[in-house]
């Protein structure tokens, strides 16, 4: 398996523009997580899905952020409009079964820069 795949790897955009980050979880994994990492705030969980259904989105910072999982093999995180303070590395991770074995597999991340 290729692991969790994220695209793009790097994104530079202007303030006010819409940004869409994409994630393909590992096949067969029931859980998908979106994290944001910054020097100031560390690794923050934004939202997670179970079987394509959003379970907890309390970490989503503002209404400008939205996430979808239309099917088991694809998820998006959208920021509209983007602001400079959204600059961070965004990670997607997936887990097989968050019961006994809850190991999360992380993608390579998307480094977002909003200028």
Partner 1 sequence: GQQVMQIPQYQHVQEGEDFTTYCNSSTTLSNIQWYKQRPGGHPVFLIQLVKSGEVKKQKRLTFQFGEAKKNSSLHITATQTTDVGTYFCAGPTSGTYKYIFGTGTRLKVLA
Q: Which residues bind partner 1 (CB under 8 A)?
A: 31, 33, 35, 42-45, 48, 50, 55-56, 91, 93, 95, 98, 101-109
What is the token pair recorded at 77? 């995180």
CA distance 17 to 112: 12
Q: Which is nearer to partner 1, 81 or 105 (CB)?
A: 105
For partner 1, give the closer residue by CB, 4 or 114. 4
Task: Give min distance, CB of 56 to partner 1, in A.
Answer: 5
**Residue 27 or residue 102: which is nearer to partner 1 going by CB?**
102
For the bound state, the minimum distance from the C-beta of residue 46 to partner 1, rounded and expressed in Å, comes to 11
Q: What is the DSSP letter of 70?
A: E
3-state secondary structure of 91: strand
Which of residues 9 and 85 has its CB atom nearest to partner 1 in the complex? 9
Residue with tokens 């969790």: 4
- Smallest distance, partner 1 to C-beta of residue 81, A: 27
Nearest in space to 32 (alpha carbons), one of 68, 78, 59: 68
Q: How far is the CB of 19 from partner 1 (least distance, A)?
A: 19
CA–CA dist 61, 46 (Å, integer): 7
For the chain, the farthest-separated pair of C-alpha atoms sits apart, in whole angstroms, at 43
């Amino acid at each position: 398996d290729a692991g969790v795949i994220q695209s793009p790897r790097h994104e530079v955009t202007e303030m006010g523009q819409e940004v869409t980050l994409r994630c393909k979880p590992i096949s067969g994994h029931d859980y998908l997580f979106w994290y944001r990492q910054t020097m100031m705030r560390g690794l923050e969980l934004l939202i997670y899905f179970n079987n394509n259904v959003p379970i907890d989105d309390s970490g989503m910072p503002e209404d400008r952020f939205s996430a979808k999982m239309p099917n088991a093999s694809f998820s998006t995180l959208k920021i509209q409009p983007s602001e400079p303070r959204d600059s961070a590395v965004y990670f997607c991770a997936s887990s097989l079964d968050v019961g006994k074995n809850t190991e999360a597999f992380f993608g390579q991340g998307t480094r977002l820069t909003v200028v």
